[in-house]
A = this chain, B = another copy of it.
């Protein structure tokens, strides 16, 4: 049975069959969750670590005036805050964007993994550093790129991340995000996102099929965005 979490960890470090068994066992507590469901809210005391096995989720913050800012997208294999138990409460919320399968791992199990499995611990560190790199890249985008570059850059990031987990092939992948969600993550309005997407569509970089956004030409998006994949520590093009 495929497990996105195991696959992700394996993409960072080699795993022994025993490692795989232990990781798989850690994911036994699985919940099916509908779209737009809050897994945890700002202010809550975290009780366990979430692992996305299937579907999409996001971290977000709500502002006093009511606006929402998404600060990260979580795709299959992603997990959150293995050390978060050392802080009192969440400083942001996490919600699903599509229906999803979520594994919940207790802190005790996570710490047991960290204490007993050096290679898994190393993989955890790597994922954390990559996540921070993504946060920094978002800041760069919001600070110094215009709307077109910004949209294109996000799509490139998502493409690379999806390709790693086998959900993108030949410069093509599906992204189940509404224009409203995109706007909330990019610091734009849905109206403007709509106009930007239209131009990207007209340029032949993407299409809109069945309510989903489909990337059909990453190269072009990368050109528009000035995308450099170094911060993901993965390559946009698979090296031969």
CA distance A155 to B123 in the complex (A): 36
Interface bits A64-92 vs B (CB < 8 Å: 1, else 0):
11010101100000000101101111011
A133 to B230, Cβ gap below 8 A? no
Number of copies: 2
Please judge, given known A-B contacts A86-B122, A129-B83, A136-B135, whether A187 and B91 are in contact too, CB under 8 Å: no
CA distance A128 to B131 in the complex (A): 12
When the two chains form the complex, which single residue of B43, B69, B129, B132 contacts A135, counting CB atoms closer than 8 Å? Answer: B132
B83 to A187, Cβ gap below 8 A? no
Query: Which of A28-36, A137-145, A166-174 contacts the other chain?
Result: A137-145
A158 to chain B, nearest CB (A): 16
B233 to A126, Cβ gap below 8 A? no
Chain B residues within 8 Å of A83, by CB:
125-126, 128-129
Please judge, given known A-B contacts A125-B86, A142-B142, A143-B187, whether A63 and B226 are in contact too, CB under 8 Å: yes
A123 to chain B, nearest CB (A): 9
A231 to B91, Cβ gap below 8 A? yes
B63 to A129, Cβ gap below 8 A? no
B144 to A67, Cβ gap below 8 A? yes
8 further contact pairs, Cβ within 8 A, besides A83-B128, A89-B230, A132-B132: A43-B230, A69-B143, A84-B129, A86-B125, A91-B233, A135-B136, A135-B139, A139-B139
